[in-house]
Structure 1
């Protein structure tokens, strides 16, 4: 009975939906995390009677066709790149982006990664690195004798050295934008990679070139809404249960048919 296979595709799709929702909930406190949503599409249809086909020599047409679907599948899990909440941390190397843009990170293999996680640290050499130890693009170095670091909304990094009464420029943070942010590839560690779907990175200064501005001593948190995720989880569970009931009903129908004498 075809209903068994159709319902099984529905159960598989809702199982994948629950996996996406559970990952969102697990990362509710992950800095810079962007939630995902599952998108579905129906499968091929069996055309038993095609709409618009001729039914007589007089030219009468079928007003509505007879089509039997094959089920559903998960087609994509795009990220929702909306702004997350910005929380104060009081750490001078924590930076949040308010608006468009990604921080750029140099990977050991020569590629550039992109992230909204602005929790930076100093390496033993004084360069700004992320939590994985990868250097921020631009090689911004903070000498060991710098007593205070200031990061402006436009990304200018300054610091006071020794007995200086005026700040010295230490570097400039740049941001990258993409035409299709949802096309970025997730690589874990709060970082994304450029793809053909995302388009090339458009590098510019914060607070200019349509980029957002920077907030020192703040971090952007995940854009996950717990109430929305729980509601979506309940809906996915109910859809899974309904598909399971279809399988149970189809099984009972087959059992009744097999018992006919």
Structure 2
């Protein structure tokens, strides 16, 4: 009986949906996190009678036919691209991207990573790095005797010194954009890497070429809507239970068939 296999694919799909929801809820306090959504597609169909074929009895055309579906499969887990609320922190190296774009960082392997987590730090050498110690491109070093740091909306980094009136320009932060943001590969630690699906990065200064600006002293909160996720969780639970009932019903029907003498 195909119903058993079909319902099993439905239960597996709802389980995948719950796993995505649980990851969203686990990251509802993660800086710069965008919620994910599980997407599904129906499986192949068995064409017992194709639409448009001629009836063998009287030669008329069959308008609909008999097409039996074989269940559901996961199609994608896509990122819901929406900016989270900008929360004021007051930190000199806390940056929020107001709009489109990613900060570029250099990982230990030499590969470029991209992130919207602007909770930056200063390394032992004074270099601006991420919380994991990855250098933020283009590699700006803050002098040890700098009394404070200012970063304007265009990404220019200035250092102030106690014995100088005018600040010193240390460098220019850049942002990277992608033709298909959803094609980026998430690797954890709030980092993404480019893929063939995302296309190459288009790097420019903040505020140029459609990129957003940077806001010093702010961090972007997670875009997860807890109420929506709980609603989706209830729907997934109900869907799982209904598919389980189909399996129970199909099993009882098979049992009745076996008992026929």
Give TM class, smaller chain: over 0.9
List per-residue Cα deviations over 1:153-200 (Å, max 9, x = no partner).
010000112311111001110000001000000000000000000011
CA distance in 1: counterparts of 2:141 and 2:90, whole angstroms: 21
Looking at structure 2, the residues matched to 66 and 163 of structure 1 have their Cα atoms a distance apart, in angstroms, of 85
Match of 1:90 in 2: 90
- TM-score, with length taken from structure 1: 0.98
Asked if 1:115 corresponds to 2:115, the answer is yes
Secondary structure in structure 2 of the residue aligned to 1:37? strand
Q: Does 1:197 align with 2:202?
A: no
Aligned to 1:159: 159
Q: Structure 2 length normalisation: TM-score?
A: 0.98
For the residues of structure 1 that align with 2:240 and 2:36, how far apart are their CA atoms? 19
1:236 counterpart residue number: 236
Count of matched residue positions in the alignment of Structure 1 and Structure 2: 261
The equivalent of 1:41 in structure 2 is 41
Shift of 1:57: 8.3
Matched, 1:8 2:8: yes
Matched position secondary structure for 1:196 = coil
Q: String of CA shifts for 1:91-121, please: whole Å, max 9, x gaps.
A: 1100000100000000111110000000000
Q: Which runs of 5+ in 1 are unaligned?
A: none
Match of 1:127 in 2: 127
C-alpha distance in 1 between matches for 2:58 and 2:240: 48
Instruction: Point out where structure 2 has 5 or more consecutive residues left out of the alignment.
Output: none
Instruction: Give a deviation string over 1:101-144, Cα, whole Å, max 9, x none.
Output: 00000011111000000000000000000010000011111011
SS at match of 2:37: coil
Distance in 2 between residues matched to 1:34 and 1:58, nearest whole Å: 59
CA distance in 1, matches of 2:44, 2:56: 28
Give the alignment of 1:141-152 within 5 angstroms. Answer: 141-152=141-152
Cα deviation 1:23-73 (Å, max 9, x = unaligned): 000000000111110000000111000000011487520011101111001
Match of 1:258 in 2: 258
Distance 1:35 1:192 in 2: 14
Q: Determine the structure 2 residue equivalent to 1:219.
A: 219
Residue 173 (structure 1) aligned with residue 162 (structure 2): no
- Dislocated runs of 4+, deviation >6 Å: none
* RMSD, aligned α-carbons: 1.0
**CA distance 1:131–1:7, shift in 2 (3 Å):** same
Alignment partner, residue 19 of structure 1: 19
**Counterparts of 1:102 and 1:80, CA distance in 2:** 15
SS in 2 for 1:38: strand
